[in-house]
Amino acid sequence: MKIVVIQGPNLNMLGVREQNIYGPMKLDDVHAQMEEYAKQNGVEIEFFQSNLEGEIVDRIQECLGDADGIIINPAAYTHTSIAIRDAIAAVQIPTVEVHLSNIHQREEFRQTSLIAPVCAGQIVGFGPFSYHLAMISIVQIMREIAAMKEAQAGQQAQAALQGN
């Protein structure tokens, strides 16, 4: 199983920018914690960060056939990007949206996510721990999908044996 973590604009500035909102932890530290969880759960993980909307759309599309789950923090694009929303909808890969701050408690323009309706879920407001919760969520979703596919394959095999 493989997870791709996609980080949007300004997340490369974690630990520097607005620590009162986003905290002192750097993005590399967040990724190191996620990598540790992935190792403990036998999951491959890959990280991508871009400040450019088109690059994020390209990376989502590249996940098709390559990833089993996506964790995305679209950052400011959460509220503006129909392109990112459409890319997630197009690839049909289970996706969890994550935010360090609680976007629902912030400025009005930050309270609407264009991305959430095409995601399996949204985790907000727990600081860096939001990413850990997203990891737990996406791994569980991927395991449930794998179990369902395995059960369907077993039923098909049994049906084929009974049909012969």
Could you give the CA distance from residue 58 to residue 81 in angstroms, rounded to a whole number? 13
DSSP secondary-structure letter at 66? T
Could you give the CA distance from residue 134 to residue 7 in angstroms, rounded to a whole number? 13
Q: Which of 31, 37, 99, 132 is catalytic?
A: 99
Contact 125, 102 (CB under 8 A): yes
104 flagged as catalytic: no
Instruction: Copy the structure tokens of residue 48.
Output: 């991508």
Q: How would you write the pLDDT of the chain (164 residues) with one tens digit per residue?
A: 999 999 999 999 998 877 777 777 899 999 999 999 999 999 999 999 999 999 999 999 999 999 999 999 999 999 999 999 999 999 999 999 999 988 887 778 777 899 999 999 999 999 999 999 999 999 999 999 999 999 988 888 888 888 75
Question: What pLDDT digit, counting tens, does each position of 83-97 carry?
Answer: 999 999 999 999 999
User: What pLDDT does residue 104 have?
Assistant: 83
Residue 46 bridge partners (DSSP): 4
User: Which CATH number goes with the domain that contains 112?
Assistant: 3.40.50.9100
99 flagged as catalytic: yes
Could you give the CA distance from residue 145 to residue 151 in angstroms, rounded to a whole number? 10
**Structural domain for 89, as ranges:** 2-163
Q: What is the pTM of this model?
A: 0.90
User: What pLDDT does residue 132 have?
Assistant: 96
User: What pLDDT does residue 141 have?
Assistant: 97
Q: Which of 22, 77, 131, 132 is catalytic?
A: 22
Sequence length of the chain is: 164
User: What pLDDT does residue 1 have?
Assistant: 93
Count the domains in the chain: 1
User: What pLDDT does residue 164 have?
Assistant: 59
